[in-house]
Amino acid sequence: MSETAPSTDIAGEKKAFAALRHAGARPYLIYSALVMLADSVEHVISYWMIFEKFHSPALGGFAVISHWVPFLLFSVLAGALADRFDPRRIIQIGMVLFMGASVAWGVLFWTDTLEMWHAIVILSVHGLAGVFWGPAGQMLVHDIVGPKQLHSAVRLLATSRTLGLLLGPAVGGAAMIILGPAVAVFLNVAIYLPLTIWLWKAPFGAKFRAPENGAKSGASIRGFSDIIDAFREAAKNRTLISLTLLAGLGSLFVGNAYQAQMPEFATFLNEGAGLVGTSVRYNILFAATAAGALFAGIALEAKNLLQPSLRSAFILAVLWCAAVIGFAAASNFVIAVMLLFAVGFTHLSFNAMAQAMVQLSAPAAMRGRILGLYNMSALGLMTFSGVTIGFGGSLVGVHWSLGLSAATLLAVILVLAFVIGRGTRAAAG
């Protein structure tokens, strides 16, 4: 199983931070990081206010579900929109929805009129905004840098978004304390503006697309049929179906559900922590995964390491499983932090590689739909990861539930690798 990305891929590009040599990539990466920062700031403020107002675990659970279910239901449709229309405008629709959600929170916090149904509606709108941003934002990367530097651009985009995610809790918490939640979330609207404004005249998208970067427009939007077409197209290509299944399995069995259980891990992991209190341990554990992902993006780009191949993607997925299993079994705080760092490192490395290979393997006229299918699998299936880890944890403890989920995933990945490898050898023979 050594299949690499297609012949038009980035394998020939050997320069460090290659994508940054495109003038359009630099503002897009910076503004995308700001959007991720704004997204995280809004979560910090709104989740706290929801907790203070309602003390409802069910509403907290809905906040997580509303974030991922739209990816499960609408990712392919959003990809079809990006195929058919200018991806810049699709992204701008997402930004308008993000800003509308922040304004709505601000008004309700300012007037102290927040009710539970308000929160349900706004959380749902916020989830939909992310879907509009997803496939269209990924397609625009291809339009900006082209195929030869796509892996570099995807990896740097993931790194920039991780940086925004890492800074979000600190910025949101400080803004809420200093300015108050209403003013802070109102000001958060401004953080979405740079990308929204830049996209208005940015010389990228369908009408600027070079012939070698893909068709200028896609087929008409056909709703549910687009999902069927995307599945059929992916099934024809070993790379597409393998990476879509691999990403989906990872989200289904593990995803990021362990983050919701981090308070329990922080309480348990006192060996080796010295005088560090539980709240500090919690924050360190929570940041360790993001720090690992950030380091992966910078270090791998600086040395231009881990060129895309199906074999490398499977190895990274196996290493990610091993790191998660190790974290679940760890009893020492320092070791747990190191393993979470490895979790973040391998997760970003795999996702950036997989997304680049999916883009390069997809037919140009269906690139958005194929990316939507990948997002549906990689992000939408996170909706269910809390079942095995969360509900399983209530039965056998979060350490066992996380460890067993990751071990099961590891076994399934190894079986999938064997099946794909055998098919590759049979095709070659």
The structural domains of the chain, with segments of one domain joined by +, span 19-212, 222-429
pLDDT, tens only, 65-122? 888 899 999 999 999 999 888 999 999 999 999 999 999 999 999 999 999 999 999 9
pLDDT in the model for residue 221 = 61
| pLDDT class of 209 with cuts at 50, 70, 90 | low
* pTM, 2 dp: 0.82
Helix (H/G/I), strand (E/B), else coil: 191? helix
Q: Which residues contact 23 (CB under 8 A, 6 or more apart)?
A: none
Q: Which amino acid is at 271?
A: E
Quote the CA–CA distance of 274 and 254 in Å, as a whole number.
30
Q: Which string of b and e fits 318-341 if b means at least 16 CB within 10 Å?
A: bbbbbbbbbbbebeebebbbbbbb
Average per-residue pLDDT in the chain?
85
Which range has highest mean pLDDT (9-13, 300-304, 370-374)?
370-374
Intrachain domains 19-212 and 222-429 with the same fold: yes
Mean pLDDT of 35-53: 89
State how far the alpha carbon of 62 is from the alpha carbons of 40, 56, 119, in Å.
Answer: 17, 10, 10
Spell out the CATH class of 222-429: mainly alpha
CATH T-level assignment (fold) for domain 19-212: Growth Hormone; Chain: A; (1.20.1250)
